[in-house]
Amino acid sequence: MNKELRGTIGVMTLNQCLHWFMIGLVLPVLSLFVLEKGMDYARLGILVAVYSGVTVAAELPTGGLADSLGRKRVYLVSLCCNALGALVLLAARGFPLLALGFAVLGFGRALSSGSMEAHFVDELLALDPKADLQRIMARLGVAVPLALGLASLAGGWLPALGSRLQERGLLSNKYAANYLAYLLAA
């Protein structure tokens, strides 16, 4: 395996691990964050449905967008959507803004879905048309869940920090620390 191919595999692994690390920061507290904002379980379910519905509805059109505008560009827009969605959630005081935040995050998820993976596969095949994609993706399939798991552990710890910041009046609730970390990661 040549040096350039190894470097591309390394960048791909780093990108995907950082992406899923970001998601792992909020995954353990998503429900708690929403409940702390005064929502009940029914509204929590509706918010998750909004996120999922927007993601599914936007999946096909955003795939075509990635093909026409470029995969990296669309992925960067997805990161902007993730940051905007986190900002909206942090500022939200009621259901309408929470729904908007979840919709923006769902759209960002649809934009990121497969865009960078496809970009990296194209890059790998351009460098070596005979590259063993199954082996490369299998290694990625080990690294990504590890990053997600480590981030989930960090995401479980962040509310302790958030509690201290909330006591000082810097956060509206202790779970907001997770969304601030997510925002910074995005």
pLDDT given for residue 116 in this prediction = 87
pLDDT given for residue 114 in this prediction = 79
Question: Could you give the CA distance from residue 132 to residue 120 in angstroms, rounded to a whole number?
Answer: 13
pLDDT given for residue 63 in this prediction = 77
Q: Token pair for residue 127?
A: 């460098």
| Beta carbons within 10 angstroms of residue 167's beta carbon | 10
pTM for this predicted structure: 0.90
pLDDT given for residue 47 in this prediction = 98
pLDDT given for residue 117 in this prediction = 86
pLDDT tens for the chain, 186 residues: list them. Answer: 789 999 999 999 999 999 999 999 999 999 999 999 999 999 999 999 999 999 999 988 877 888 888 899 999 999 999 999 999 999 999 999 999 999 999 999 999 987 888 889 999 999 999 999 999 999 999 999 999 999 999 999 999 999 999 999 998 899 999 999 999 999
pLDDT given for residue 113 in this prediction = 86
pLDDT given for residue 18 in this prediction = 95
Question: Could you give the CA distance from residue 145 to residue 34 in angstroms, rounded to a whole number?
Answer: 25
